A and B are shown apart, each in its own frame.
Chain A
């Protein structure tokens, strides 16, 4: 560590170690794969052990878990949802379809790679990934937050033009009611 340890930095390190134990998840399951979540939440795999519980509104959530393919129309809703979430926020792409389109590669109606439109923190490969894979990705995310490396959400504030261009390329202009560039200045991100 050549960098000087300032007071603010030291506090952030302590905070990361504590806040990584509490992550609230919003699951967006219009594609497929929602069936893998009940075993993850209930007694067999029990993700609440790690402090991860399911939340119902975007304002309260930290993780946006997107399962399966996204059609162009649902992508709009995902972006509206994502921008309502409070930073730090993490997108997890679940299943092959979010990585490269998967079996919908030839479809005119779905998007192929989720990271063109939103900053994805983690992908879970597979069709379908099993609950073990979901738990392993959550523990990976917890480790990254603890090390202070889970910073993909800052990319959305830094490279907003890139994401905005890709989004508008797919469905034209939409009003998301959130001014990302204004927020960047206001909250000093």
Chain B
């Protein structure tokens, strides 16, 4: 019974957390720039406004379908990642499945933006896929490293192993090389500065979102809010010992988000080739060292 309730309400809870995290991010950025900043529920207002637009331009049925694919893929990923109290689906799919379905939203976005035929959108998509090649290799390596260390690819078992030994059992403590490599890769995955090459409003007019307006952009913002929660939760589950209850889960989410936002607020933007080069130099080397330490 409770599983059914979780399946129904978990996306709504995750969306609420994502919206608050994004709103917190905007407030944080504003305070760093010595501004007052928007209220913390600003992103909710934005999404509501976009969804209540009176006209919506569609560029064809692929444009419509792709956004369903984008949101659907994200919701699917959400179910496979355990949070305190809900790990029903992680028994059916380990993190190899998660790595695989994490690509569905990117693919959906590429198809939809392709149909809008906007050159800025195409540049944005090509940059997104280049960044994917950059951060996915170190991230996959850290996945593999943790799997070898724990002897399983199941999320719940990895969390249980880490929690058994307290704070010194966390992935970040047992293998700091992998932890740091995954943190940098996570930063690239979230597309925060200095890896904000996909959106880059001043260069390519927000890239994939250029032709999106009204409900289309609203759906992309909902997906973004869910995606933030997904990516942070994957990192928490692998390296910060999961979370025993919701209080520690929320604390870990906000601490990790603050860490990423602090870097985001201080840096400018890499060029896309520099960003990929950095990803293949620093996190990849760290991840290789981490995996070698585990094997040898």
| C-alpha spacing A21/B36, complex, angstroms | 15
- Residue B296 is within 8 A (CB to CB) of chain A in the complex: no
Main secondary structure, interface of A, reads loop
User: B85 on the interface (CB 8 Å rule)?
Assistant: no
Which residues does B use to contact A, with CB under 8 Å? 26, 30, 33-39, 42, 45-46, 48-49, 52-57, 201-202, 205-206, 209-214, 217
Instruction: From A42, A55, A85, A88, give the contact of B35 (CB < 8 A).
Output: A42
CB-nearest residue of chain B relative to A54?
A: B201
A sample of 16 inter-chain contacts (CB < 8 A) reads: A18-B49, A19-B52, A22-B48, A46-B36, A46-B37, A49-B36, A49-B38, A56-B201, A57-B206, A57-B209, A59-B213, A59-B217, A85-B213, A86-B56, A86-B214, A187-B56
A55–B212 alpha-carbon span in the complex (Å):
12
**In this assembly, does A143 line the interface, its C-beta being within 8 Å of a C-beta of chain B?**
no
Interface of B is mostly: loop
Contact (A42, B33) CB under 8 Å given A19-B52, A22-B48, A87-B53 = yes
Q: Which 4 A-B pairs have the closest CB atoms?
A: A59-B213, A22-B45, A19-B49, A22-B49
Instruction: Give Cα A94 to B163, complex, Å.
Output: 60
Kindly count the residue-residue contacts between A and B in the assembled complex, taking CB atoms under 8 Å apart.
Answer: 86
17 other contacts beyond A19-B52, A60-B217, A88-B54, with CB at 8 A cut-off? A18-B45, A22-B45, A22-B49, A23-B49, A46-B37, A48-B26, A49-B37, A51-B46, A56-B201, A56-B206, A59-B212, A60-B212, A60-B213, A86-B54, A86-B55, A86-B56, A86-B213
Q: Please give, as numbers and ranges, the residues of chain B lying within 8 Å of A88 by CB-CB distance.
A: 53-54
Q: Check B42 against A21 for contact (C-beta < 8 Å).
A: yes
Does A10 have its Cβ within 8 Å of any Cβ on chain B? no
Partner of B57, one of A15, A22, A86: A86
Contact B38 A51 (CB under 8 A): yes
Nearest CB of B to A84, in Å: 8
Q: How large is the interface on A (under 10, 10 to 19, 20 to 34, 35 or more residues)?
A: 20 to 34
What is A's interface to B at a CB cutoff of 8 Å? 15, 18-19, 21-23, 42-43, 46, 48-49, 51, 53, 55-57, 59-60, 62, 84-88, 183, 187, 189
B52 CB contact (under 8 Å) in A15, A46, A51: A15
Select from chain A the residue with minimum beta-carbon distance to B116. A59
Q: Please give, as numbers and ranges, the residues of chain B lying within 8 Å of A23 by CB-CB distance.
A: 49
User: Please, how many angstroms separate the alpha-carbon atoms of A19 and B48 in the complex?
Assistant: 7
What is the distance, in angstroms, from B179's C-beta to the closest C-beta of chain A? 35
Q: Contact: B206 with A60, CB < 8 Å?
A: yes
Query: In the complex, A85 Cα to B49 Cα: how many Å?
Result: 14
How far, in whole Å, are A60 and B35 apart by their CA atoms in the complex? 24
- Chain B residue nearest in CB terms to A48: B38
Give the complex CA separation of A55 and B56 in angstroms. Answer: 17
Q: How many angstroms between the C-alpha atoms of A88 and B217 in the bound complex?
A: 15
Output the least CB separation between B156 and chain A (Å).
Answer: 39
Given the complex, which residues of B lie within 8 Å of A86, measured CB to CB?
53-57, 213-214
Chain A residues with Cβ below 8 Å from B210 are 57, 59
Given A22-B45, A49-B36, A49-B38, A59 and B52 contact (CB-CB distance below 8 Å): no
Q: By the criterion CB–CB under 8 Å, are A189 and B42 in contact?
A: no
Residue of A nearest to B214 (CB): A86
Closest to B201 in A: A56
* Cα distance, A19 to B46, chains bound together (Å): 7
Q: Are A87 and B55 interface neighbours, CB within 8 A? A: yes
A84 proximity list for chain B (CB < 8 A): 57
Residue of B nearest to A16 (CB): B52
CA of A15 to CA of B53, assembled, Å: 11
CB distance from B171 to the nearest CB of A (A): 37
Q: How far is the CA of A34 from the CA of B27 in the complex (A)?
A: 25
List residues of chain B with CB within 8 A of the CB of A87: 53-55
